[in-house]
Structure 1
Amino acid sequence: MSKTTLNTTMRYSALMLSMCAAFGARAQTAPSTTADNATPAALERPVTSLVVERTDLDASGAVAPATFGGSEYNRDFLRGFKNDSALRNGHRDYGYLGTECFCSMESIEVLKGPASALYGNGKPGGDLNSVAKMPGLTDYRNITLFTSSPGLTRARLDVADVVGDVSYRVNAQAYTGATFADHNGRDSAFVVPVIEWRVTPDLKLTLLYNGGYVDMTWNPQVLANQALLSLPAQRFLGEPGNTTRIVDSTTRTELDYKLPNGDHLRQAFMVQNESYRDAGLTYDTYNHALADLVDQAGNVQRVSQRDRAHQAIFVSQSELIGRGKLADIPVEYLLGLEVGRFDYRYKLEVGAGSAINIYRPVYGAAMASSLDTYADQKYGTDNVVLYSQNRFQLSPAMRLLLGVRAEHYRDYLQELGEARTAQSDSLLSPRVGLTYQLHPRWIAALSWTNSSRPQIGAKSASGKLFRPEAGTQTEGSLQYTSADEALKATTSVFSITRKNVLTQDLASPSFQIDSGRRHSRGIEEDLSYSFTPALRLDASAAYTDAYVSQDTVLPVGALLAGVPKWFTSLYLGYDVTPAWSLGAGYVFESRRTATLPDNGVALPAMSSVDLTVTYKTKKWSIDATLVNSGNQRGFTSDGYVVTPINPREFQLTGRYKF
């Protein structure tokens, strides 16, 4: 996935979150483009939200999380911490997302403040919620064809209609071809049907299914080795026979019943099964330190490796959403019960492999015939949760948000040939937010968010599982909306602490203990300005100071890997005529530490510009996009794996309504 493409061509809107999105439930109904009027009604949006709007969110068409680490839509990090989980239409996950087809997404919300912790993802600084394309359109049929200069082609179909009390929408996609990396290709197909049945005027049933597969070349990830970072982004150091296959099946069901008093009862289920496997030659990080991977002759050491994984997720959410009064104070409330189960099976096998020269690669090496098992484990969790989030209208100018999540969970971990280890615990995560209208054009907000997250899949030297990671965030924000609503600007200041972070056990260096702490603080600015009805600028900038505040090995004050201190994103759109429009996107990330602990390798500052032109009629449209128009070199990092940004690439997309 091209992180640069996502960052530079998306449009940002700084919104104060609506009640539905702020509560994290029924997020599919949350507005994607609603403007905030600077009136007391705007106080219904007490938490900052950032909504990503883009015609094509990703040229590859689907996001497959690398080694099941989580799906990263637009940034590797949110406010200084790894973005390793997300929400889908308000459903939580366990940090392991199945492959999501972007053909089915309407928008992506970046939740901040109390809303981000409602479903317990353990990220008080923010969370991502993908909003699906829902039925409701009448006699709608749309086909999209895409091609890129490396040779990737894609076809999408979007069909919707309303038949009596039933409405449906089907998105389907297939793509094939080459990526920008040498000897790398992808094949995939997905289908995402959605059905809404208005059983009675007060009862609605929604069914959604996401199913498909991805077959692609398994490309060894770039690591923080100076020789590897000096190579062109296209350089491939695996073997053309390296393979990855992902198969996903996810079903979501929701019943919504409107009570006579206007409240809503919501019952939702999610069932997911996904399998993943890869095989091929990759870097030998098992026997070599990062600095020693490449010898003086330019040969990188490799091993034969095979990974296999399967995950199964079940989540049930029962919610009551409504309005009422408490001691004559108007209150909007959400009460919920969540029951979930997550099971994960992972097996890693490693064997001998031949080196390859990084400057003059010669392919043809085969995998070893015999592989040794390095890991074979099962782990997961069961949980039962009570949660509530309530907003009180204290005065015409003031709103108070109070929420709490009480969770009881049971984790387990079983290594091959060992007895199963289990642990139970209870968590309490409160949060509070306050908004106040200082002036018809100004709204101030304060919030304190607490979150907890079980650490599944790891155990200490004594064989015990780890206590949950805990996080807290304090945030203040100020929003301004001009009288004509042409200018909207939000400034946010935040401070986040994460406790019980895993760090090395000095008594048993091969294991970890949960005594680490990490801290992040910063300031963010989101701005949207319409110079004229045809010319619009969306901009965001952030300063983030993320560092180690306590550890057994790492020095206090060490910067967290991969996190840029300065980040800027701009998008300028101009409608030249009703048919023609132009767009330009710019992204900048400052210099970053590549690994933690710091091995002396740094990722240089990077910037990139995307350019796009669109021609449209009532029936069809054509988009031509030049990704990374200056062909700049750059890298993103998740704190260990380094990903080169797309080199210059031409993309052409055509859409036709029939």
Structure 2
Amino acid sequence: MNRWHLVLGGAIAGALLVSTSPQEVNAEDGEPQGRGSKQEATSPIPRRKELPHSAKTVREWLAQVREAEVQNSVRVLDVRVTPTGNELEITLETENGKPLLIDATQFRTEGNSLVADIPNAVLALPDGQEFSTDNPTEGITSVRVTQINPSNIRVTVTGNNALPTQEVTLRTGDLVYSLKPEGDAPDEEIVVTGERQRGYFVPDATTGSRTDTPIRDLPFSVQVVPLELLQDRQVQRVNEALRTIAGVTPGQSSQSAFEEYTIRGFSSGFSGGNILRNGLRDATNTSGIALPNIEQIEVLKGPAGALFSQGSPGGTVNIITKKPLANARYSLEGLIGNFDTYRGSLDFTGPLNDAKTLLYRLTAGAYSSGTFIDFFDRRNYAIAPVLTWQIGEATKLTFEGEYTISQQPNDRGLPAKGTVLPNVNGTLPRNRFIGEPDDQLDKNDRYALRLGYTLEHQFSPDLKLRNTFRATRLRTPQNSLFPQALLDDERTLERELVVADDQFQDNYTLDTNIVGTFKTGTIAHKVLFGVDLNRNIYGGRGIQFALSPIDLFNPVYNQSEKTLIAEFPSEPITSDLLGIYLQDQIDLLPNLKLLLGGRFDIVSQKIDFADGSESFQQDEAFSPRIGLVYQPTDWLSFYASYSRSFLQNVGSTFERTLFKPERGTQYEVGVKADWLNRKLSTTLAFYQITRSNVLTSDPANPNFSIQTGEQRSRGIELDIAGEILPGWKIAGGYAYTNARITADTTFEVGNRLNNVPEHAFSLWTTYEVQTGSLKGIGGGLGLFYVGQREGDLGNTFQIPGYVRTDLSLFYRRDNLRIGLNIENLLDARYFEASESDLRVFYGAPFTVKGTISYSF
């Protein structure tokens, strides 16, 4: 009998045992009777007025649900912790030996703790207190059994700075469950392991709080794209990976060298502040992302200034990279597709010594592809070594490196006339290229080297220090060709070229924080305090040329002539940031949680001009956030929150008044639910974000700006991810977004923000046969609907909505996976995004990719 049969058998056996021991009810006082009750099976039929009245409000319904849960709960009268050799056994003694209903597939790890939640159980210990014992064995600092709500208890086993290394079992009656994620079955006993299964539901994420906190306990919408979903969809970009997150839509072409998107109506921009790597901001993160090195992608919706400093108010994306594992594993993958697409990658990990105190991981990949656009080829290469040193039981040091190369032309799209608008000459084909095949005239090469470390030290079970540093060196020799104007004949496109051969960007980030847990009376606190520093230096010489125009309907390439317009000397821009942040997660009651946080930032920017002079500006900003979570049951959370963000605006008005930082303010309420034994997660959110201090043209002095601009986004979002039935997984959501200009001197108040659909829907679902001769065969279906959007802030033209259909077929058995992925199955003609009336981006046509991967 294999492990998963034991899991299923144990869960079914527990359910059957509970269902065959019903409580009998005394007709006079309604109290439950034990097995020795003399109450007859037949009782007078109660009259209607004697029955409990139906709930007329949500409060009454929840009260009745809680009362029923408590009445049907099994009482735990004693807890015993017994160490034997290399094993620790936790025994739960129940009243009359009644069995507990345990679904061990929901056992999980949180930081350095093993956690098991047990429903329909009430602690009834002799002293009336929750159970706890410290240091029962070497390597385990504590065992806790607590009442997390009126009808559920939690068993928590905490290791010393790491997960316990010895076997930890939970015994109730004749059933024994292993809490260890990779525990082996003891002889002649039914053992259920808590190994995390593959799936789309991820219960924990660090992005929402910078601490190990379950998503259901956070007063914000946090969504996760796990590794399995990335593999099932075979995405090649972060933008594409985010399509299953409600409220996130592409802001750029899929062929762009940059990752840009809109969240809740607001663009992420190119500053890099809205894309983090392992919680660290870095202005270079918008490009050169190594997909083979991604473990999962986390999305915090709404302003995140209280945690991560500057950024757009729409949301923040955090890329979690892969870390070394204690057990050796080697994976190889190959891909081939149309448009001459080829990709190969490897992922090796394991220990470097017998004590497993030195672990490594190496990921690498190479990707080469043509595209549906003429003369547009892409090449990407990446290698990422990681080394973890467990210095002692309480101290761990991880070194990380990553080097990426990206080579391609610039995708500048096509004019609106001839794509989304009529053109007297006809319709432009989606394969039309407005650049030049010669890479000396059009290229965007990016070479990024990232090096850093993370040092973690556990002073005690309640106090942990984390220190992280990363340095990035980005070199981007670029010939940037772009459209300048479409002439009256609607076919002649004027073009310009900017050559920046020595363009560079260096970024340095240092973050130190400490997390401590303590109690003030009965109120529990988890406090985060941190300081971070960031420096970003950007520069490069530029030469501007006018290029020969191109006939969009009859292009002739490799005959362009350059005419010098201007030269720009290298004038480096240095941006510095100092941030201090503080957060307290407070458990007011077992089912009532309060989050208070704030961050103070000092940001500055200095420009060193070629004549020896300089320009300097410094701003300060405080970004607070507050949230409340109420959990009537352990699977349901109601929340409300307030949060702010900021972004430095460099420059001054005509009167030489410095600009204030742009601010974002959000109010959000919502509900989260973990259904189907915590295998399916849903989040329903209602929000309003106001973006203020937006720069807009000065009506009296058109060459200057003033700060009267304001934009507002209101919306509703529904996210869903997880497993509906064994083998049937789902990820997707729906978003209604009403994003408009509310104050401006250039654009009309009431205009919609560009690239923001009012309605968007996504669905990705797969099914894999679980048993029998067809086990491992599966398929997936994706539907992505993006509604009509405005093409620019002036609302002068619209981008039509579209539905894209994707399909996958795969076979997975043991260590082998073979897959076939088709994007745009019906070959729909659609448009991904728009920057202006000269830059509208077609979506890719029918695309097919075949993959094969093997692990050993």
Shorter-chain TM range is: 0.7 to 0.9
- Matched residues in 1 for 2:471 and 2:722: separation? 42
- Matched residues in 1 for 2:539 and 2:735: separation? 38
After superposition, residues 92-107 of structure 1 pair within 5 angstroms as 92-94=281-283, 97-107=286-296
Structure 2 residue 790 is the aligned partner of structure 1 residue 604: no
- Matched residues in 1 for 2:800 and 2:747: separation? 23
After superposition, residues 237-248 of structure 1 pair within 5 angstroms as 237-241=434-438, 242-248=442-448
Question: Residue 468 of structure 1 aligns with which residue?
Answer: 661
Amino acid at match of 2:830: G
Structure 2 residue 364 is the aligned partner of structure 1 residue 167: no
**Shift in Å at residue 475 of structure 1?**
0.2
SS of the residue 1:258 aligns to: strand
Query: Structure 1 residues 530 and 99 mapped into 2: Cα distance closer, same or farther (>3 Å)?
Result: closer
After superposition, residues 215-614 of structure 1 pair within 5 angstroms as 215-226=407-418, 230-241=427-438, 242-279=442-479, 281-284=481-484, 288=485, 293-296=486-489, 298-307=491-500, 309-368=503-562, 370-373=564-567, 377-417=571-611, 419-456=613-650, 458-461=651-654, 465-482=658-675, 484-485=677-678, 487-528=680-721, 530-576=723-769, 577-598=774-795, 600-614=796-810
Question: Residue 397 of structure 2 aligns with which residue?
Answer: 205
- Matched residues in 2 for 1:362 and 1:72: separation? 28
State the Cα deviation string for residues 484-537 of structure 1 (Å, max 9, x = none): 446532210000011111111223212322221111010001124644212233
**Shift in Å at residue 168 of structure 1?**
0.8
Amino acid at match of 2:642: W
Please identify, of 510-519 and 346-355, the stretch whose mean Cα deviation from structure 2 is larger. Answer: 346-355
- Matched residues in 1 for 2:230 and 2:285: separation? 26
- Matched residues in 2 for 1:115 and 1:455: separation? 18
Query: Structure 1 residues 113 and 16 mapped into 2: Cα distance closer, same or farther (>3 Å)?
Result: farther
Query: Structure 1 residues 465 and 251 mapped into 2: Cα distance closer, same or farther (>3 Å)?
Result: farther
Query: Structure 1 residues 14 and 492 mapped into 2: Cα distance closer, same or farther (>3 Å)?
Result: farther
**Shift in Å at residue 14 of structure 1?**
7.2
**Shift in Å at residue 188 of structure 1?**
2.6
Question: Residue 383 of structure 2 aligns with which residue?
Answer: 191
Question: Residue 6 of structure 1 aligns with which residue?
Answer: none
State the Cα deviation string for residues 1-42 of structure 1 (Å, max 9, x = none): xxxxxxxxxx99676755x332236xxx78xxxxx8xxxxx8
Question: Residue 187 of structure 2 aligns with which residue?
Answer: none
Query: Structure 1 residues 549 and 189 mapped into 2: Cα distance closer, same or farther (>3 Å)?
Result: same
Amino acid at match of 1:652: G
Query: Structure 1 residues 440 and 196 mapped into 2: Cα distance closer, same or farther (>3 Å)?
Result: closer
| TM-score normalised by L of structure 2 | 0.68
Q: 2:370 aligns with which of 178, 199, 216?
A: 178
Q: Where in structure 2 are there 5+ consecutive unaligned residues?
A: 1-197, 241-250, 422-426
**Shift in Å at residue 350 of structure 1?**
2.0
Please identify, of 415-424 and 194-203, the stretch whose mean Cα deviation from structure 2 is larger. Answer: 415-424
SS of the residue 2:477 aligns to: strand
**Shift in Å at residue 417 of structure 1?**
4.2
Q: Write out the 4+ residue segments of structure 1 that deviate beyond 6 Å after TM superposition.
A: 61-67
- Matched residues in 1 for 2:419 and 2:780: separation? 36
Query: Structure 1 residues 270 and 408 mapped into 2: Cα distance closer, same or farther (>3 Å)?
Result: same
Query: Structure 1 residues 168 and 17 mapped into 2: Cα distance closer, same or farther (>3 Å)?
Result: closer
Structure 2 residue 23 is the aligned partner of structure 1 residue 23: no
Question: Residue 114 of structure 2 aligns with which residue?
Answer: none
State the Cα deviation string for residues 113-146 of structure 1 (Å, max 9, x = none): 5767411133344210011111115221111111
Query: In the alignment, is the contact (CA less than 8 A) between 2:420 and 2:798 conserved in 1?
Result: no
SS of the residue 1:410 aligns to: strand
Amino acid at match of 2:471: V
- Matched residues in 2 for 1:581 and 1:300: separation? 48
Query: In the alignment, is the contact (CA less than 8 A) between 1:227 and 1:294 conserved in 2?
Result: no
Please identify, of 446-455 and 542-551, the stretch whose mean Cα deviation from structure 2 is larger. Answer: 446-455
Q: Which has the larger radius of gyration?
A: 2
Query: In the alignment, is the contact (CA less than 8 A) between 1:94 and 1:121 conserved in 2?
Result: no
| TM-score normalised by L of structure 1 | 0.88
Please identify, of 414-423 and 314-323, the stretch whose mean Cα deviation from structure 2 is larger. Answer: 414-423
Amino acid at match of 1:534: G
**Shift in Å at residue 327 of structure 1?**
4.9
Question: Residue 657 of structure 1 aligns with which residue?
Answer: 855
State the Cα deviation string for residues 365-415 of structure 1 (Å, max 9, x = none): 235163523685432321211101110000111000000001122222345
**Shift in Å at residue 581 of structure 1?**
1.0
After superposition, residues 106-145 of structure 1 pair within 5 angstroms as 106-113=295-302, 117-145=306-334
SS of the residue 2:207 aligns to: helix
Amino acid at match of 2:276: L
State the Cα deviation string for residues 543-594 of structure 1 (Å, max 9, x = none): 0000111111211111111111111000121113432110011101111110
Query: Structure 1 residues 223 and 108 mapped into 2: Cα distance closer, same or farther (>3 Å)?
Result: farther
- Matched residues in 2 for 1:228 and 1:375: separation? 39
Amino acid at match of 2:694: V
Query: Structure 1 residues 452 and 373 mapped into 2: Cα distance closer, same or farther (>3 Å)?
Result: same
State the Cα deviation string for residues 202-241 of structure 1 (Å, max 9, x = none): 1111111111211212333335444587423221121111
**Shift in Å at residue 108 of structure 1?**
0.4
SS of the residue 2:755 aligns to: coil
Query: In the alignment, is the contact (CA less than 8 A) between 1:76 and 1:637 conserved in 2?
Result: no
- Matched residues in 2 for 1:337 and 1:504: separation? 37
Query: In the alignment, is the contact (CA less than 8 A) between 1:43 and 1:399 conserved in 2?
Result: no
**Shift in Å at residue 453 of structure 1?**
2.0
SS of the residue 1:21 aligns to: coil
Structure 2 residue 230 is the aligned partner of structure 1 residue 55: yes
Query: In the alignment, is the contact (CA less than 8 A) between 1:379 and 1:411 conserved in 2?
Result: yes
Amino acid at match of 1:494: Y
SS of the residue 2:510 aligns to: strand
Query: In the alignment, is the contact (CA less than 8 A) between 2:592 and 2:631 conserved in 1?
Result: yes
- Matched residues in 2 for 1:58 and 1:578: separation? 22
- Matched residues in 2 for 1:611 and 1:481: separation? 27
Question: Residue 155 of structure 1 aligns with which residue?
Answer: 344
**Shift in Å at residue 81 of structure 1?**
0.2
Query: Structure 1 residues 126 and 280 mapped into 2: Cα distance closer, same or farther (>3 Å)?
Result: closer
Query: In the alignment, is the contact (CA less than 8 A) between 1:349 and 1:374 conserved in 2?
Result: yes
Question: Residue 244 of structure 2 aligns with which residue?
Answer: none
**Shift in Å at residue 305 of structure 1?**
2.9
Please identify, of 632-641 and 442-451, the stretch whose mean Cα deviation from structure 2 is larger. Answer: 632-641
**Shift in Å at residue 97 of structure 1?**
3.5
Please identify, of 81-90 and 605-614, the stretch whose mean Cα deviation from structure 2 is larger. Answer: 81-90
- Matched residues in 2 for 1:620 and 1:614: separation? 10
Please identify, of 42-51 and 368-377, the stretch whose mean Cα deviation from structure 2 is larger. Answer: 368-377
- Matched residues in 2 for 1:12 and 1:140: separation? 20
- Matched residues in 2 for 1:181 and 1:537: separation? 32
Q: Where in structure 1 are there 5+ consecutive unaligned residues?
A: 1-10, 31-35, 37-41
Report which structure shows greater RCO (CA 8 Å, sep ≥6). Answer: 1
Amino acid at match of 2:594: L
Tell me which protein shows more strand as a share of its residues. Answer: 1
Query: Structure 1 residues 536 and 281 mapped into 2: Cα distance closer, same or farther (>3 Å)?
Result: closer
Query: In the alignment, is the contact (CA less than 8 A) between 2:299 and 2:317 conserved in 1?
Result: yes
Question: Residue 102 of structure 2 aligns with which residue?
Answer: none
State the Cα deviation string for residues 406-444 of structure 1 (Å, max 9, x = none): 112222234554732112222111100100013454310
